[in-house]
A and B are shown apart, each in its own frame.
Chain A
């Protein structure tokens, strides 16, 4: 393997240098998806400024205005563009704040999953050995179960174990950990596969010969070269993570009901569906779909543009 790579030196262009930007600007789908994503993230980040009312403020709930249809004007003259929820809170504001929670949980779990997966992938790919066998076997096993089931069970078991009192405070960290634990495998397998290729290359050999420590080789030499595909996996997983959060919150085992997230809003609305109050669940649901669609299209485009080998399986 090493002899072969000596005869074939590769200039290895950085992933962002090869026409990626050009490609991006020429693709209307990617541009639209990116603009949409950026806009949604901006709205979520600036929720305090953008939202008409502060959903986290109990004073924003006017029980007298409960379950008003979209576009109505409340008793004290409040305008509710998307209607109100059963507590008389403005749906638009609740969706904007819910968006923030959903994006935060999604991003945090993607980062955590990536951190675990990349670290394990690098170590396993470089050192091989017993640890590699064990980790990859666990990864294989985990892949034979649907991720949503794993997230649900980890979340459920942890909630059962955790004391009731600390429950609501810990709900979000537990949720993030559960989602991360169900999605780390893809990163680990992707990175490991790439490391297996990289470790035989000349520059790694050169570093090793000059006495650079293995951990340093992994961290400063190999790691930057395997990140491209990781971004693709992360983008696609972002929408999966958001969907998982929404699903678990909808089932009532995710974000605590006091904190709006897209999933918990749909859950609240579900109880009033039969009164004909469709806007309470449909608007947050539509927001969720738009968000996931935008992130998905972005991920698909990125995958096609980079065209990496996404996984070794």
Chain B
């Protein structure tokens, strides 16, 4: 276990350092940082002075360390296109993305688990066949198309729900804004989180169904039936509980995917989160913003993966054994 943790943490550091290196290279070598900061009228001497003041004459290694120090204290430069510090920009946009992702995951779990259980228990009913076919098609549907179809139906044709933005937001504390406390904010959240959660929902539904069918065949379920326990107790207390262990893992692992696909959903619904920001930074060639996003996303993902791995290993001893074995084999 000790070596496992050390290995995982060193891997995490490796990823973050790699991303930092990439973003450093972007900042340092795309365009001339001095040109980006001084005006047209600056003389050569002024430029040289600026260059020295910025430390751009130092060895590259030293510059990289300075960059790391800046990142560590949260100094990520100033966005070209917005003209404000990148950190503030990222921090402003973070709540929108977090709320969207969490709501999507909630939608996926709260719909996916019951549907999975239902299709497993009523295996032969027409509705569960329909649900399975729909989930198959859902996998082939690209996320942005689902969003567009939702907008077309619920915003354009029916006019029930807003199709862009976050609605009214309320500030909580210093920097967190939430759309969860206003009616317009909640209404704005419905379509994006459904769009984002739909794929995960079909995934969870099919996983729960498969696991449930597996568990229902085991001896202890048969034994429980033989004892004459009510089928609700057997289905929900005995079977479902054992079904949920892999589901928890998948939900954890899918958070990364949710985060990635939130970029697309944010673009479709003009949701003012990190995803929309990174698309804009690419379109406007906003190097400081893109570079900071790289570091942030590498850090976030590495952290999520690390946490999932460690929790998983802590819960299930078999995984620990598995991981050491697969490492020895490969």
Q: A residues touching B (Cβ–Cβ < 8 Å)? A: 136-137, 141, 144-146, 148-149, 152-153, 155-157, 159-161, 164, 239, 243, 246-247, 250-253, 263, 266, 269-270, 273-274, 276, 278, 281-282, 285, 288-289, 292-293, 296, 312-313
Nearest-CB residue, chain B, relative to A128: B330
A252 to chain B, nearest CB (A): 6
| Extra A-B contacts (14), CB below 8 Å, given A243-B142, A247-B264, A270-B268 | A146-B261, A152-B263, A156-B282, A157-B26, A160-B285, A247-B144, A250-B142, A253-B283, A274-B156, A278-B156, A281-B148, A288-B142, A292-B140, A296-B139
A164 to chain B, nearest CB (A): 8
Nearest-CB residue, chain B, relative to A155: B282
Contacts A148-B261, A251-B267; A160 near B142 (Cβ below 8 A):
no
- B143 proximity list for chain A (CB < 8 A): 247
A293 CA / B22 CA spacing, docked (Å): 37
B52 to chain A, nearest CB (A): 26
Q: B residues touching A (Cβ–Cβ < 8 Å)? A: 11, 14-15, 22, 26, 30, 137, 139-145, 148-149, 151-152, 155-156, 163, 256-257, 259-261, 263-264, 267-268, 278-279, 281-283, 285, 287, 290, 294, 297, 301, 305, 326, 330
A239 CA / B140 CA spacing, docked (Å): 9
B257 to chain A, nearest CB (A): 5
A145 CA / B18 CA spacing, docked (Å): 14
A155 to chain B, nearest CB (A): 8
B282 touching A160, Cβ below 8 Å? yes
Nearest-CB residue, chain B, relative to A292: B140
B245 to chain A, nearest CB (A): 20
Contact partner of A149 (CB less than 8 A), chosen from B141, B263, B268, B281, is B263
- Which 8 A-B pairs have CB atoms at the shortest separation, nearest pair first? A156-B282, A146-B260, A149-B260, A285-B145, A293-B140, A160-B285, A144-B305, A250-B144
A289 CA / B138 CA spacing, docked (Å): 10
Contacts A149-B263, A251-B267; A266 near B140 (Cβ below 8 A):
no
A251 touching B264, Cβ below 8 Å? yes
Contact partner of A136 (CB less than 8 A), chosen from B259, B283, B330, is B330
- A288 proximity list for chain B (CB < 8 A): 142, 145
- A156 proximity list for chain B (CB < 8 A): 278, 281-282, 290
A253 CA / B15 CA spacing, docked (Å): 25
Contact partner of B156 (CB less than 8 A), chosen from A137, A243, A273, is A273
B324 to chain A, nearest CB (A): 15
A167 to chain B, nearest CB (A): 9
A274 CA / B139 CA spacing, docked (Å): 27
B145 touching A160, Cβ below 8 Å? no
21 CB < 8 A contacts A-B? A136-B330, A144-B305, A149-B263, A155-B282, A156-B282, A157-B26, A161-B26, A247-B143, A247-B144, A250-B144, A250-B264, A251-B267, A252-B279, A266-B144, A273-B152, A274-B156, A276-B156, A288-B142, A289-B145, A293-B137, A296-B139
A282 touching B152, Cβ below 8 Å? yes
Residue with the greatest number of chain B CB neighbours at <10 A, chosen from A144, A156, A278: A144
B260 touching A246, Cβ below 8 Å? no
- B260 proximity list for chain A (CB < 8 A): 145-146, 148-149, 152
Nearest-CB residue, chain B, relative to A252: B283
Contacts A156-B290, A160-B282; A270 near B140 (Cβ below 8 A):
no
- A149 proximity list for chain B (CB < 8 A): 259-260, 263, 297
B152 touching A278, Cβ below 8 Å? yes
A64 CA / B145 CA spacing, docked (Å): 28
Residue with the greatest number of chain B CB neighbours at <10 A, chosen from A159, A243, A246, A251: A251
- B22 proximity list for chain A (CB < 8 A): 157
A251 touching B142, Cβ below 8 Å? no
